[in-house]
Structure 1
Amino acid sequence: MTDVKHVVYWHETEHAEPGPPLRESVDCDVCVVGGGYTGLWTAYFLKKAEPALDVHVVEAEFSGHGASGRADGFVTPTVGKDIQALVARFGEQRTADASRAVGRSILEIGRFLRRHKVDAEFEANDYLLAATTPAQLRRLEKDRALAARLSGGAGPALLGAAETRELIGSPALTGALRTGGALVNPFKLARGLARVVREAGVVIHDRTPVLRVHPGVRPTVVTPGGRVVADKVVIAANAHQFTFPPFRDQVIPVWSYALVTDPLTPAQLDRIAWEGREGLVEAKTFLTCARFTADNRVLWAGGPALYFRNRDTRRRRMNDPRAYRVLVEEFRRFFPMWDDVRFRYAYGGTVDIVRDFAPHFGQLPGNLFYGYGFCGNGISATHTGGKVLRDLVLGKDSEYARLLYVDDDSRRRQAFPPEPLLYAGVRGACRLMDWREARA
């Protein structure tokens, strides 16, 4: 690949001017650590529930700089990476409750964008969870049967190869489930959400990294320029959650990568059936996915999930050539008709991976609250999570505070081993997962 820009495509679709950093000590009701989706939705729902609350958000860079603004833009009803495991652990009713809550978030995000006039290129196009192997097709059959039980209805239709290729004309596809969902420009969503939150009276301190958090009756957030003393603190740092001692062994940052093409010409677009512009997601844990952007580029993302020793998140890991080789090979397999399409952007970012592949919310001693573990499926789940954290912070016993995502005696956080066992374990687990999925 030549003339490729190693910058995040979404970041060039809208100019972002970071706000001022914290340069003094402040006192407030709630301090949210992290200005991504989880933190911003929490602040938004807190202010809607109690407008008089004084809420401050501290963000190391600016809203949309991290995972929220680097996401692939799929707004899906994903409850966790392994819904079968959730059913086995929590039962069908609690899993169905969580699924419905996240499904509602898809609709509510669309309404939020319209109400607040945020042009985030929202397209309610659904998406295809697609199979390319017999094992993946068997997984779709199991998922369809489970979805029917959880919904109490017929569930989504399982499409055969011919029907799937009528929607998206890739010769690699052998079947698919068509599922409700949407596409969005994730950076514009993050920037628009930050604007709306500021207009509601929330103070966002950009370029304010957190050095440490001291729990207590009134916990303290320490930053280079000042301190925030609050009644309650919410830690919502996504892939950087591990930098806080209570979560050191709970979260690992795993790299995901993306390629974005030049805008396709009319002739290139005519080579494939894809009139509905649905999102395409491969039916495996470490998936590949594809979608159109608003200007008719193709975003192709996923590939190998890379973990680097000692939780390395340095920017130079964004340019790892191994990931792009795999992505290019897979793109050519899925879309051989686009052999002349050029990639213009190649970039990566970290996602927060947890042992059970599902989000975690809860409270720690010292008036600390937390939300993390979206595993790369956070656009709609963070919206739901904002309501969960709102009710936990306000002490409300609600349907959101009782979702299976909330840690209690029935669900405890699972720790990763220390290095060097962690590095070896992640590599081994990935190989085992690939082997199991190939034979499922």
Structure 2
Amino acid sequence: MRPLDDLKKVVYWHETEQAEPGPPLRESVDCDVVIVGGGYAGLWTAHFLKQAEPALDIHVVEAEHSGYGASGRADGFVTPTIGKDIQALVEQFGERRTAEASAAVGRSILEIGRFLRRNKIDADWEANDYLLAATSPAQLARLAEDRALAARLSGGAAPELLGARAAQEIIGSPAITGALRTGGALINPYKLARGLARVVRGQGVVIHDRTPALRIDPGVRPTVHTPGGRITADKVVLTANAHQFTFPGFRNKVLPVWSYALVSDPLTDAQLGRIAWAGREGLVEAKTFLTCARFTADNRVLWAGGPVLYFTGRDLRRRRMNEPRAYRELLTDFRRFFPMWDDVRFRYAYGGTIDITRDFAPHFGSLPGNVLYGYGFCGNGISATHTGGKVLRDLILGKDSDFTRLLYVDRLGRKQPSFPPEPLLSAGVRGMTRLLEWREGRA
């Protein structure tokens, strides 16, 4: 293994496509809708709004450029996930409404693939499913519970619970003791973000790169203030991901945490031949703060997840990319899963922030003063943001639709649960982490 100090602290995906940020805002603008955040959630919202109402004047403000943040640092798993704890959603909303939300996100997987083909975006799309794998008796028991719940939500259809031998025939890791094969896809998340931005610009949406939102004044016609000018609109939409907490009304609604990844050099034919993994499926360990693995288009191994770290004061500074303890834990887990790859050399080590909510699920809705919001994808946003763009489209247009009736939407009686303020927050995160580790370690 390459020493940690020798790893490139650069997001691997960012080196797969060149990006030239567009010009920042340098004037005052008046428009119909301004979206704060140029990641997946904001761009899908702009895309679906323009499809529905082509005459709308829509502007997007982005602090860096599309794909720089969470959207371009994702691990590239396109899954039907609607929250970290689907059982809690069932208990709160019932099986029918949970099934409706799950089906909507599942459809988004297919629609993203069609979007890429229709717009000729080469984002290394691989519709090859993923394996939700157990490595302990406790995880295997939870997979059996997940399968039973999936069968109820789908009216009887559910994937087969595979034993160790059958699972290892798909992905030959000796750590795997059982698995569920789940529908999904893999993608280069940065290429998706950049391609989506190009499509949205082609629809006539104006994206102001390098334009952070400093303040929002709600009102009959709310205003977004930036370093170079302000934008006044009929509606403001906040899709700021882990930075959502910086805006009034969301301070204690979002917990920004860091997740980390390692990416190897391209594997040789000899290295690839040591393990059964012919289908190139994604691999996800069945626990809340998961570890996951996949191949990139050029046969690198991406190994990600591991410790999810919160830094006191909601610290999002770039220096948090360099956290040796996170990479050490990732390397230890990698060796547990893939002892046959002791000569695989990692090249990249990087981190990114995730927007965690108290109930581990997304939230959409509106605040007084014509401000709307969508946040809380909890690290599972590639397909959920696509669905969320349709939710926000219909909320902005004032439509009562299947999307605005999804359980995500706060105006239907769902509350935004809060985190405590500091210093209770840091203590609470430590306690929650220990509780989850204890729960997931039970046999």
TM-score range, shorter chain: over 0.9
Partner in structure 2 of residue 240 of structure 1: 243
2:400 paired with 1:397? yes
SS in 1 for 2:174: coil
Runs of 4+ in 1 over 3 A off after TM superposition: none
| 1:320 CA drift (Å) | 0.4
2:107 paired with 1:104? yes
Cα RMSD, aligned residues only: 0.7
Distance in 2, Cα, partners of 1:23 & 1:244: 22
Distance in 2, Cα, partners of 1:71 & 1:95: 25
2:269 paired with 1:262? no
SS in 2 for 1:408: helix
Distance in 2, Cα, partners of 1:245 & 1:364: 10
2:314 paired with 1:314? no
Partner in structure 2 of residue 343 of structure 1: 346
User: Which amino acid counterpart does residue 11 of structure 1 have in structure 2?
Assistant: H
Partner in structure 1 of residue 202 of structure 2: 199
Partner in structure 2 of residue 52 of structure 1: 55
Deviation digits for residues 79-110 of structure 1, max 9, x if unmatched?
11001110011000000000000000000000
| 1:409 CA drift (Å) | 5.1
2:13 paired with 1:19? no
Distance in 1, Cα, partners of 2:397 & 2:94: 28
Partner in structure 1 of residue 302 of structure 2: 299
Partner in structure 1 of residue 428 of structure 2: 425
Deviation digits for residues 116-155 of structure 1, max 9, x if unmatched?
0000000000001100000000000000000001001231
Aligned residue pair count: 440
User: Which amino acid counterpart does residue 429 of structure 2 have in structure 1?
Assistant: V
Partner in structure 2 of residue 278 of structure 1: 281
Partner in structure 2 of residue 357 of structure 1: 360
Distance in 2, Cα, partners of 1:40 & 1:214: 22
Deviation digits for residues 256-280 of structure 1, max 9, x if unmatched?
0000000000000000000000000
| 1:245 CA drift (Å) | 1.2
Distance in 1, Cα, partners of 2:413 & 2:127: 36
Distance in 1, Cα, partners of 2:428 & 2:51: 43
User: Which amino acid counterpart does residue 146 of structure 1 have in structure 2?
Assistant: L
Distance in 2, Cα, partners of 1:108 & 1:358: 22
Match of 1:163 among 159, 163, 166: 166
| 1:410 CA drift (Å) | 2.7
Match of 2:175 among 168, 172, 176: 172
2:431 paired with 1:435? no
SS in 2 for 1:311: coil
When the two structures are superposed, what TM-score results if normalisation uses the length of structure 1?
Answer: 0.99
User: Which amino acid counterpart does residue 25 of structure 2 have in structure 1?
Assistant: L
User: Which amino acid counterpart does residue 401 of structure 1 have in structure 2?
Assistant: T
2:145 paired with 1:142? yes
Q: Structure 1 residues 107 and 29 mapped into 2: Cα distance closer, same or farther (>3 Å)?
A: same
SS in 2 for 1:245: coil
Distance in 1, Cα, partners of 2:434 & 2:69: 28
| 1:437 CA drift (Å) | 1.5
Partner in structure 1 of residue 132 of structure 2: 129
| 1:411 CA drift (Å) | 1.1
SS in 2 for 1:16: coil
Distance in 2, Cα, partners of 1:327 & 1:108: 33
2:379 paired with 1:379? no
Distance in 2, Cα, partners of 1:166 & 1:357: 33
Distance in 1, Cα, partners of 2:235 & 2:384: 22
Match of 1:251 among 246, 251, 254: 254
Distance in 1, Cα, partners of 2:286 & 2:7: 29
SS in 1 for 2:355: strand
How do 1:31-110 residues align onto structure 2 when only pairs under 5 Å count? 31-110=34-113
Distance in 2, Cα, partners of 1:421 & 1:398: 40
Deviation digits for residues 13-52 of structure 1, max 9, x if unmatched?
0000000000000000000000000000000000000000
Contact 2:405 2:412 in 1 (8 A): no
SS in 1 for 2:148: helix
Distance in 1, Cα, partners of 2:265 & 2:412: 51
User: Which amino acid counterpart does residue 25 of structure 1 have in structure 2?
Assistant: S
Distance in 2, Cα, partners of 1:403 & 1:62: 30
Partner in structure 2 of residue 9 of structure 1: 12
SS in 1 for 2:94: helix
Distance in 2, Cα, partners of 1:398 & 1:409: 13
Q: Which runs of 5+ in 2 are unaligned?
A: none
- Percent sequence identity is 80
User: Which amino acid counterpart does residue 388 of structure 2 have in structure 1?
Assistant: G
